[in-house]
Structure 1
Amino acid sequence: MATPSLWRQRNFLLVLGGEVVNNIGDWLLAVALPAYVYTETGSGTATAAIALLELAVSIVFGPHAGALVDRWDLRRTVIASNAAQAVTLLPLLAVDGDRIWPAWIVAVVQGVIREVNNPASFALVPRVVAAEDLTTANAINGGAGSICRLVGAPLGGIAVAAGGLPAVVWADGTTFLVVAVTTWFVRGADTGPAVQPPAGTGGEPDAVDGREHGSGVRAGWRIVRRNPALRGQLVVQTIAAFGFAMFPVLFIAFVVDVLGGDEATIGIIRGMAALGGIGAALLVGKKARRVDPVWLMAAGFAGLGTVAFVFVNVSHATTALWLYLVLFALSGLPNITSEIGSTGATQRLCPSAVLGRFQGISSALGAAAALAATAATGVLVDHMPVRILLNVQAAVYVSAGVAAWLLVARRRTDVAADATVAA
């Protein structure tokens, strides 16, 4: 039976609006806080500590946060976590050039809350969208995410430059409160706990449909471990996280050392990916019902690696800026395609009862991979040609696409039908 257009579904629009505002707030803080710390202290170590603390939170707390999400009402969790994020920004008002430590505390606390909010927001979408509309919904979210990047990152720089951290606190805090309010208006969808253990039972998980009495991390991991496609999905996401984490340092070195650019050039080129991402979301969204998300994921990663190969190696022939603007815009197409496919594949493959825990485990593994990639890249970039390292990074993307085909597409059993959807 045909479902109403997503643009006419009230709950989806509320969730989408909340995610858009939340993502703008995340980008705002991600840009503003490190920028403020660096400009006030001049210390790369103090600035890097923010990113390292956030990665450590993901590694340590991510799986446990996912387990909590599976036991809690998703709507209430999103409301509470956004309200908590707004309140816990307040210590930033005490930060100045001589007192940076509150910024580190805020980074840790925000990271902990984010590890709860992100899987809850992710798991909420299949509760308000019909299974056949999930890929379309993910495409819309992907395009919205690119817009958030275009809006949120500049806002972070403008806010901290114009009003310091107080302006950041009030602007970012407002975004979190807006999300809490929009989510509060979600009605009629079953957003209750995915796991409801009977009293007095230890319970063993059912590896087929994901319904089990154990609601902890270990019970969730047993379900994931028994499902070959879910194991493969974790491998794919971890490989991709490694590749993405290699990029920032290598990209900066490439633009400065090979293209002869500066800070403005770096920003202009990177911004083009968001424009390409918007176009990709529109294109994929139109074909979403007829395209398997697992194949979108595989093709997206393989395509991203292919564009990356061209991006770095064409520099042997020319360093004309316009060409790199075009290539980076083109990279937005496979990048967003892989994101839409990854999200849809996870929603389709993962039982709803362990969706939060799967996201938590994936977050932890991805953070560990990102930490390793960042450390390795930081060392190697001073001792190896940047073109070689960027070719390695492109190969990592392609390997993620190959892994998606070998480890997910050929092993999968869709379980999206067990999700509860409200029209």
Structure 2
Amino acid sequence: MWHHRGFRRLWAAATVDACGTWLLVMAVPVQVYAVTGSATSTGLALAVQALPAVLIGPWAGALTDRWPRRVVLVGANVAAALGVSILLVATSADRVGYVYLALAVENLAACFLRPALQAAIPAVVTDPADRASANALLATSHSALRICAPLAGTYLTAAGWFGAVVVVDVVSYLAAAAIIAGLPLPATTRPAGGALGRPDNPRPGAGTLDRPAGPHPGGTRLVDELRQGWRLVVHSRILAGLLAGSWLYWTANAALTALLVPFVVHRLDSSGQAVGYLVTGLGVGYLCGSAVSRTVLLRSPARTQLTISYALVGVCFLIMFSTSSLLVAVVAVTAAGLPGAVAGVATTHHVQNASPPWGRARVSATFMTSDATAAVIGALAAPALVAIAGLPTALITLSAAVLLAAATAAFLLPAESGPPT
């Protein structure tokens, strides 16, 4: 993959960006609880991070498809840096509102950053086999960061160095913007008509470097472009199948995450420190899964990849959440991370392949919004299910729901849905 100069820059920017982001993942909740002593304030901080993707995500995708990718990537990174810098003044309980403002700005910027990156990768890496390698490499580097960066951020924050963690994240966003600023990205061709905006007659001169492709014929309104993103998904069997399976998977995953601490305390009869063992084990599994995902992507169609991956995760979750042994739980969650990483990389890869170049950002934003909605619904459904059926039954039911995601993928995805050649 290193022979792709454009991808080298994208990878470097995304990795630097992710390093700072993962440092803050646990550091912010720790800081909020330290200055407020309130679990409610901590929970609100986590909720604020999900709201922009739910409310703004689809609009951001439609706008990103209108604008040059490079401008969006640079601008979103700079905006995120400005947002994160607000955290530097959140030093007391009466200033906790600045935390919510900072998180809202950062995650609003991420609503543009994520779909722009997903749309830029296929534009830079045009060969499907190389693209599989690119997605696997990005997932591997991010998986490595998710193991060590949250622990480092938590340690530094607990030691009174929260400001230093914030500065590192700000610098990482600015560095990512600087890396991408000199990267030429191919412009996308606007559709000239046809069902769902398929390009019947592409404009002459399309494909010049980083040049806006101009307005849609007839001055298509932004709301129409927003709806078109959903239509692209609904009218594509592979995109619809990917979305349905992903939504079920992440809803169950979010619900189980919400119940992780009660599971550790009441089922494993252990301290909160055990949560760290489980999260670390999951990270190790993700790292291993990311490393092998390229081979999986190139050897089987999407339906096989996702059906088997979701099924294996479901089985691992059933073992994990039915045991009372911490060792068994750590082994099971580590094993779940491997197919979980493959499922994530496969979904990203096939969304890129199945989306038209002019609509990749809005399709990616549709999936981002779906995942965020799943996170909110799962987090709300988990305590309700516990109240109705009890913790053990809720854990087994939600684990089995991952198997339902596997069945959904097997039923909805086409038999041959590998990367196009």
Query: Which sections of structure 2, spanning at least 5 residues, go unmatched?
Result: 203-215
Which residue of structure 2 aligns with residue 324 of structure 1? Answer: 329
Q: Separation in 1 of the partners of 2:272 and 2:362?
A: 39
The partner residue of 2:106 within 103, 107, 110 is 110
Secondary structure of 2:259's aligned partner: helix
Alignment deviations for residues 37-62 of structure 1 (CA, whole Å, 9 cap, x no partner): 11211112212112222322211101
Specify whether residues 413 and 302 from structure 1 end up closer, same or farther in structure 2 by C-alpha distance, changes over 3 A only: closer
Q: Separation in 1 of the partners of 2:297 and 2:418?
A: 17
Residue pairs, 1:139-218, within 5 angstroms:
139-187=136-184, 189-190=185-186, 192=187, 194=188, 196=190, 205-206=195-196, 213=217, 214=220, 216-218=225-227
The partner residue of 1:84 within 64, 72, 79 is 79
Secondary structure of 2:93's aligned partner: coil
The partner residue of 2:292 within 280, 283, 286 is 283
Q: Does 1:367 align with 2:372?
A: yes
RMSD: 2.4
One-letter amino acid matched to 1:147: A
Q: Separation in 2 of the partners of 1:413 and 1:280?
A: 21
The partner residue of 1:15 within 3, 10, 28 is 10
Residue pairs, 1:220-369, within 5 angstroms:
220-315=229-324, 319=325, 321-369=326-374
Q: Separation in 1 of the partners of 2:376 and 2:340?
A: 21
Specify whether residues 356 and 81 from structure 1 end up closer, same or farther in structure 2 by C-alpha distance, changes over 3 A only: same
Q: Is the 8 A contact 2:296 2:305 kept in 1?
A: no
Q: Separation in 2 of the partners of 1:181 and 1:355?
A: 24
Alignment deviations for residues 295-352 of structure 1 (CA, whole Å, 9 cap, x no partner): 222221111001111222343xxx2x33332222211111111111111121122222
Q: Which moved more, 1:158-167 or 1:14-23?
A: 158-167
What is the identity percentage for the equivalent residue pairs of Structure 1 and Structure 2? 25
Q: Which moved more, 1:334-343 or 1:72-81?
A: 72-81
Q: TM-score under structure 2 normalisation?
A: 0.88
Alignment deviations for residues 224-251 of structure 1 (CA, whole Å, 9 cap, x no partner): 3322332222212211220121122222
Q: Is the 8 A contact 1:276 1:329 kept in 2?
A: yes
Q: Is the 8 A contact 1:204 1:219 kept in 2?
A: no
Q: Which moved more, 1:57-66 or 1:157-166?
A: 157-166
Shift of 1:197: 6.9
Specify whether residues 205 and 180 from structure 1 end up closer, same or farther in structure 2 by C-alpha distance, changes over 3 A only: farther
Secondary structure of 1:381's aligned partner: helix
Secondary structure of 1:272's aligned partner: helix
Q: Separation in 2 of the partners of 1:342 and 1:209?
A: 25
Q: Does 1:400 align with 2:405?
A: yes
Shift of 1:83: 1.4
Specify whether residues 207 and 291 from structure 1 end up closer, same or farther in structure 2 by C-alpha distance, changes over 3 A only: farther
Q: Which moved more, 1:151-160 or 1:100-109?
A: 151-160
Which residue of structure 1 aligns with residue 208 of structure 2? Answer: none
Q: Separation in 1 of the partners of 2:388 and 2:7?
A: 49
Which has the bigger relative contact order, CA under 8 A and spacing at least 6?
1
Instruction: Report the number of matched residues.
Output: 400
Q: Separation in 2 of the partners of 1:286 and 1:232?
A: 22
Secondary structure of 1:337's aligned partner: helix
Query: Which sections of structure 1, spanning at least 5 residues, go unmatched?
Result: 1-5, 418-423
Alignment deviations for residues 374-402 of structure 1 (CA, whole Å, 9 cap, x no partner): 11212333554322212112222111122
Shift of 1:287: 4.8
Q: Separation in 2 of the partners of 1:138 and 1:405?
A: 23
Q: Does 1:136 align with 2:133?
A: yes
